[in-house]
């Protein structure tokens, strides 16, 4: 049977890396994205594999039409799912360090409620044969952020992000237990920081705080996800794999 993975947030930093990796390995890949232009760039990057890439423009942040999304997926027979959708809007913090209730709610909906709804919709739909789910978590769902990394203060650090990721980690376990009778495995990868738009001072502080001695590279993201999607990880269910370079062991 053709393996078909749905990756939400498929044109984000993580989503693109995972999508291209799986395409190169023969998977059929469907992605959701809010940005058609970025999807066009991904299709171009896929090259000869683009015929196995399916783009669905879908906005998770504005009263999402889950029924419409399911209709768009009806002919694809989704066998695997990566819950990866992100938005910077959910990371806003007030000048006083307090997160507004609507922002907190939006982050929780994106990280927890919508992944839950999508998993259950795919599980219940006759058109799909879901076998494995991977949720994209975070080291900040395992431990709290270190103020020293952020100049000595967490005032601008979004508490809602870590709290929502911690909830996602636990939901991984709940879903693994509840969907086991349906032979669906649910796991999670709690990633550490990936090198991107940060200055050299931040990189140096981060490097000093973990055994690996550096931030992760984007090329290191697909491997853990691919493993948990594959049959090589059949013994793992309800597992939160911490891929953070050792950040959370100190």
**Residue range 15-28, pLDDT digits in tens:** 999 999 999 999 99
Per run of 10 residues, the mean pLDDT along the chain (length 250 residues) is: 94 97 98 95 97 94 88 96 92 94 95 97 97 98 97 94 98 98 98 92 95 97 98 98 96
pLDDT of residue 112: 97
pLDDT of residue 90: 86
pLDDT of residue 230: 98
pLDDT of residue 11: 96
Domains of the chain and any CATH numbers: 4-243 (3.40.50.720)
Taking only Cα atoms into account, the Rg of the chain, rounded to an integer number of angstroms, comes to 18
Rounded Cα–Cα distance for residues 78 and 173 (Å): 21
pLDDT of residue 119: 98
pLDDT of residue 211: 97
pLDDT of residue 204: 95
Asked if residue 89 lies in contact with residue 103, where contact means CB atoms within 8 angstroms, the answer is yes
| Token pair of 92 as six digits | 């806003």
- Which pairing describes strands 80-83 and 53-57: parallel, antiparallel, or unpaired? unpaired
Global pTM value: 0.96
Cross-strand partners of 216: 194
pLDDT of residue 61: 81
Q: Rounded to 5, what percent of the chain is helix, strand, coil?
A: 50, 15, 35
């Amino acid at each position: 049977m053709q393996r078909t993975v749905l990756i939400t947030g498929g044109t984000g930093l993580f989503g693109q890396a995972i999508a291209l990796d799986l395409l190169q390995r023969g998977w059929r890949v469907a992605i959701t994205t809010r940005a058609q232009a970025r999807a066009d760039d991904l299709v171009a990057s896929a090259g000869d594999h683009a015929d196995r890439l399916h783009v669905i423009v879908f906005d998770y942040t504005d009263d999402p039409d889950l029924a419409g999304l399911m209709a768009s997926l009806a002919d694809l027979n989704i066998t695997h799912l990566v819950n990866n959708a992100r938005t910077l809007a959910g990371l806003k913090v007030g000048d006083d360090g307090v997160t507004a209730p609507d922002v907190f709610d939006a982050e929780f909906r994106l990280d927890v409620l919508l992944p839950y709804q999508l998993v259950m919709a795919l599980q219940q739909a006759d058109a799909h044969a879901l076998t494995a789910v991977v949720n994209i978590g975070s080291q900040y769902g395992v431990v709290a952020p270190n103020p020293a990394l952020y100049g000595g203060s967490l005032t601008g650090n979004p508490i809602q992000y870590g709290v929502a990721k911690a909830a996602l980690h636990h939901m991984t376990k709940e879903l693994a237990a509840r969907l086991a009778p349906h032979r669906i495995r649910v796991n999670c990868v709690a990633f550490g920081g990936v090198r991107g738009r940060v200055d050299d001072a931040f990189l140096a502080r981060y490097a000093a705080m973990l055994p690996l001695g550096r931030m992760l590279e984007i090329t290191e993201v697909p491997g853990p996800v691919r493993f948990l999607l594959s049959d090589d990880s059949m013994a793992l269910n309800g597992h939160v794999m911490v891929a953070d370079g050792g950040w959370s062991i100190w």
